[in-house]
Structure 1
């Protein structure tokens, strides 16, 4: 079985990812009292049909389910559509009357009243999938009839057993949005979002691992794909299939392979053609230009933006509308002749350094203490030294500064539950945190000083917030990523080399007694070009307490890994740390709620940031 698919998935397909919350919501509505029909919205190839197939399986045999793929009668007139609906219902409802003769709304009304009068029928779920396959006049006739049947529930009790699920995009929206529309006020809306980060990354990684790729590289490819298409169900599967093709040809899977796959998609994929066609036919070309070049604040009262969402080009990002992902933004920005501007948050992050894929020496040498190459200050938890291979990644050249952290504090960083782990939110509620520990103290709050007084919980929330603001995934580094960036491939004891030299970092020996502006010690630069990797501020990593050596690879940004209150690793030492504590291999652990004027953070991402953000090479 191929590990990737760009068509609808069977209910039992292992390729089906995510949508568990959507499925649970639909199942609950199907079992509850019918107070409204359901409008299931999603752009083209957003996984609506795959979800409905799984819903159908979940509901049977508890109740009759009649799922109609309206593409079977594409272009049908109203008479043909009514006959098709009645025939299929009769096939699924026990003791249903003869459907022949049903050719209009009143006929469907009488037929359903009789079919649902049987005591053995407790509920009928009628799913009308691919609503856009019908002509507008046919859709209007069916919608008027179903609206009439919904209203008749109050006098004909049998019709209370009927729940209708409409599935579609902008064509369904037209039947619901205005007061004059056929289905206005009788439907509850449900919008399908893209796959979450964990789901999308696992989809790519599992598929490539099943085809024989190393798990570390496969997960790196998953993150690289996610950074470009942000969990778009079809595009994730499409890029996965192309990466698999490259692997089977013997090509190396790197960032260049992802970009090559993306180029093939942009050269003529049917999804992109359909979006272009929809934009022209709907008169939304100018709205698309506005979306890409100057995204407005989010509200579905903005009719043009709401329609772009249903076409599959727009989504909500924080408090604004945004292009659904970078691939679509760049493709349609180029086609429409508008620049894809970096979000305002582009000035929130430091320049990023590219750390190339490959091996490095992790941990401290167990060699004879008298050997020249041995780290004579090494602790037991840094041993044994071993070679570890990582995929490439991008890491902040400096720690996050107060200026970069300030919009998180001023915005919804401390009030939006979505950015926080469950344990982190519970802690925030318990102690009523709304800013870093040292935020109001002048000694620590210079714009270019690294932010301090942040717990691990706050550091995670900041990364998630930054990801939403920029549309690009940021996270805390793993312990391995941090160490490679600090020590280089050859395992230097300090970023600059194996010999301690005063004046290369802000440690206790410097005698400054507080944090210094980031980059204050350019002669302390690492081999990859990173600054402040020794001293100034301890930096939180994603890694949990208890990680032994040799270091075992796992996804340390997965939701399950981030859960709970286990201790987490900090690296790098701070302004009050002695030289032995600012070594690149030194490991320290603290509780995730720990806040002090020594602790800060640095961000990492799995793919380069587009637009005008500065990206540097560490190669």
Structure 2
């Protein structure tokens, strides 16, 4: 979706803002302002960052006006202030951050009326805010602060589809975003990829399957783990995430790291799908959008990649051990979770609402 109509865009921006503020409405001020974990920002930092990013792109760069608060530019720059230090900084408090968001929004709407929309910049800023509400939910999940009714991970229910594999024939297909709609730079350019035949699981791995892995020595048997994964597991005394054991056995497993996903795949006698395999099979899969799904692929640029509108969105993360996730989660806004959207994180991270869908070569057999 790319909106170029001024009135509709203003409505969409307003809806995203309501979504953001509603997310923290049930929380005490102290919980909004504290840093929950070193790998996550204080929730109030996200609020200030959302406003600063909007002012930078939609008011300063698009409309040519001075920043509303140039003194906050470095404070809310994600590269200038890494997550680990954000809790130690003198950032805006909750009331100040909400007021800053409102002031920036008034400037944005005035600039929109005067200059008109940019189909790339405005959509990017809108989706940026939607993405941050998922990041905020990750922090809230760590602290047990999610709103009532979340997470939303329905049960698949028992049935033959639970263990069903889909055969995908060999062939060439177009990987990446087509022209004519908004997409991020790392989704482009669309290009032809030749794939051999493969099979992919109809559903993501469930909590029940994950617990069978645990009970079968999954976190004790060295042969199922990579060298890096085993070293991480041993150093931090890793076992299965509490949500896997507590969740419905027929619901998708969540809060799974790439290292764990790879180990479980070996236990099954399968593997993780590559990113092209996942995208080619996507339309035939059940449960897409419940948990992010790890792929075997490292995050990098497609052939002919060009950074736009700034290289810090994607390019600085290329070829740095980050792995690609696909599909979106229950916390991802549908506007963000497109077929070609690429998420990425380090292989040890478990704060994401991430699970795994397995793949195998035609000759492979599940255990």
Please, what TM-score do these two structures have when normalized by structure 1? 0.30
Q: Which has the higher contact order (CA 8 A, sep 6+)?
A: 2
Greater radius of gyration (CA): 1
Please, what TM-score do these two structures have when normalized by structure 2? 0.50
